Amino acid sequence: MKKQYVIGLDYGSDSARALIVDVNTGEEMASSVKYYPRWMEGKYCVPSQNQYRQHPKDYLEVMEATITEALAKCDASVAEGVVGISFDTTGSTPALTDANGTPLAMLPEFEENPNAMFILWKDHTAVKEADEINELARKWDVDFTKYEGGIYSSEWVWAKVLHTLRKDDAVKGATVSWIEYCDWLPAVLTGKTGLKELKRSRCAAGHKALWHTDWNGLPPEEFLVELGPELKGLRENLFEETYTSDEAFGTLTAEWAEKLGLSTDVIVGVSAFDAHMGAVGAEIEANTFVRIMGTSTCDIMVSPEEELGDKLIPGICGQVDGSVIPGMIGLEAGQSAFGDVYAWFKNVLAWPLQFIDDKDQAKAIEDKIIPALSEEAIKIPLEESTILATDWLNGRRTPDATQNVKGTITGLNLGSSAPRIFRALVEATAYGSKAIVQRFLDNGVKVDQVVAIGGVAKKSDFVMQTLADVLGMPIKVARSEQSVALGAAMFAAVASGAHATIAEAQKAMGQGFEKEYDPIPENVEAYKSLYDKYIKLGKFTEEEL
């Protein structure tokens, strides 16, 4: 029997990865990673203003480069056997489009305008607009935020679109619609870029765009115009139907088939967000809490509809039928900063290194900071952890999204060394994680096991053990180095017909787990009281500061 392969494309915040996988064994044949060239130059971003934009050309250039490089590492028979491609992307990362569904930055007159580009998930320029959406939703006869945790975030599409249209008259004048880039990438490969041809992701629409079947899709025109007259007319150029990621978007165009060295018979699947596909790659099942741990975290669960019933979980990032596994309700939560908290502290400590003339030496020192801090922090007895911090350095995603809160550190004295502060920051990210788990438990959602994927899960024993101790639960780490891209590959296998269901693809292609962190009983007890103090500090921070 001829072997079949699929390609999972994982689009992260800084780079994209292509992974080629055997559909029958899960063997990873080859992979390639490319960084977005303009993004790496720091273009179009103003961190001091929380502005983070990415050029659509970055996405297209790395798509071609990663796929062709990964295929070049394989025997020619692998390219001949590729049957499917699926994407996952960060989100919500939308761009405004013209009447042809083209992101405005692809047009000559807007090619250097950040407001015409894709607005990265972590762009927080739309805090005001998110507050307005929440205020109006409370007054409306239907609360359109109720399936998104009851709180709309500035990280999500409608807030970003409204903010951008208000800020830029030229962009506003050219805007006919908007698109998430998880929908744009498969549209490009299949040539189905027209606004009425697009198959919009159930995952993206349900979790970030206020889409639900209860109100026949997106909120009505009346609501959107009341929110802002800038939104008038957009809804008629958007969508009512959405699609789960086990479905086919289309097949490769002749142009892209030639560029990639593949057949025009290759199926391109409907896409989704990275965390949701990553959870599938980590072999998620009912009542499994999957943590995608990187610069931020995204936490995913799935629950049978009959088990969740009519429950609405407040303060999470949505509950959407089929957003993770078709036929089950996908639940999303997460932290706006996780690894970014550690990176911030590293950058604070590394500030003097800019004055070292030997830049290679400076970089070598900088690279040693986090490992050295971890090595020392783990030696500090828990009873000496007198410093307490909150993890909201980039706002709070869940529970109860708000980008208005700030990070805090308290309990400092003249003996507060860098490792002690670092330990407090690691504990803070663990407390933030516990708050999310507790929100699920308090609302009757069972959490039977915790699974972790991502860079932090792979690299830091200290962080993972602290997290296990604070949660009071064992944590399994997925074996695959590329669980998110693997999840995309699993969906490509189903969309192309190589497997009938996601469960079947997981069984054939899953790689299991490489490590388990068991909580230390005495630490679990000690952290219970410290967590209570974290909650009190968080309340004071939010209400008083």
Each residue's pLDDT tens digit, 336-370: 999 999 999 999 999 999 999 999 999 999 999 99
Same domain, 215 and 246: yes
Q: Is the pLDDT of residue 386 over 80?
A: yes
Residue 1 is predicted with a pLDDT of: 66
Residue 78 is predicted with a pLDDT of: 97
3-class DSSP state of 479: coil
Same domain, 468 and 503: no
Q: How are strands ordered across the β-sheet holding 288-293?
A: 319-321, 328-335, 297-304, 288-293, 449-453, 475-478, 513-517
Q: Token pair for residue 276? A: 């949701």
Same domain, 80 and 216: yes
pLDDT tens digits, residue range 465-523? 999 999 999 999 999 989 999 999 999 999 999 999 999 999 999 999 999 999 999 99
Residue 190 is predicted with a pLDDT of: 98
- 323 lies in a domain? no
pLDDT tens digits, residue range 427-457? 999 999 999 999 999 999 999 999 999 889 9
Percentage of the chain with pLDDT > 90? 94
- 43 lies in a domain? yes
Buried b (16+ CB within 10 A) or exposed e, 85-116: bbbbbbbbbbbbbbeebbbbbbeeebeebbbb
Q: Which amino acid is at 349?
A: L
Residue 283 is predicted with a pLDDT of: 95
Same domain, 540 and 420: yes
Taking the CA atoms of residue 90, residue 330, residue 158 and residue 174 in that order, the dihedral angle to the nearest 10 degrees is: 60
- Interstrand relation of 475-478 and 449-453 (parallel, antiparallel or unpaired): parallel
Residue 310 is predicted with a pLDDT of: 87
- 23 lies in a domain? yes
Euclidean distance between CA atoms 57 and 365, whole angstroms: 34
CATH code of 377's domain? 3.30.420.40
Residue 536's domain comprises: 339-478+514-544
pLDDT tens digits, residue range 282-296? 999 999 999 999 888
- 137 lies in a domain? yes
pTM listed for this prediction:
0.92
Residue 384 is predicted with a pLDDT of: 83
Using the 8-state DSSP alphabet, how is residue 219 labeled?
P
Same domain, 495 and 529: no
Same domain, 274 and 397: no
Distance of CA 360 to the CA centre of its chain: 32
Euclidean distance between CA atoms 514 and 451, whole angstroms: 11
Same domain, 344 and 265: no
Greatest extent of the chain over all pairs of C-alpha atoms, in Å = 70
pLDDT band at 249 (very low <50, low <70, confident <90, very high): very high
- 299 lies in a domain? no
* Cα angle: 331, vertex 335, 339; to 5 degrees: 130
Euclidean distance between CA atoms 143 and 82, whole angstroms: 45
pLDDT tens digits, residue range 124-149? 999 999 999 999 999 999 999 999 99
Residue 404 is predicted with a pLDDT of: 86
Same domain, 175 and 28: yes
Domain count, the chain: 2
Same domain, 275 and 369: no
Residue 170 is predicted with a pLDDT of: 98
Residue 545 is predicted with a pLDDT of: 85
- 309 lies in a domain? no
- 36 lies in a domain? yes
Residue 385 is predicted with a pLDDT of: 78
- 164 lies in a domain? yes
Same domain, 427 and 539: yes
**Contact between residue 225 and residue 232 where contact means Cβ atoms under 8 Å apart:** yes
Q: Among all chains, which residue has been given the structure tokens 């695959």?
A: 480
Q: Token pair for residue 166? A: 């208000």
Same domain, 244 and 357: no
Q: Token pair for residue 281? A: 């790659």
Q: Is the pLDDT of residue 75 over 80?
A: yes
pLDDT tens digits, residue range 292-322? 998 889 999 999 988 888 899 999 999 999 9
Same domain, 370 and 244: no
The whole-chain average pLDDT of the chain stands at: 96
Task: Return the closest-CA partner of residue 297 out of 394, 211, 373.
Answer: 394
Percentage of the chain with pLDDT > 70? 100
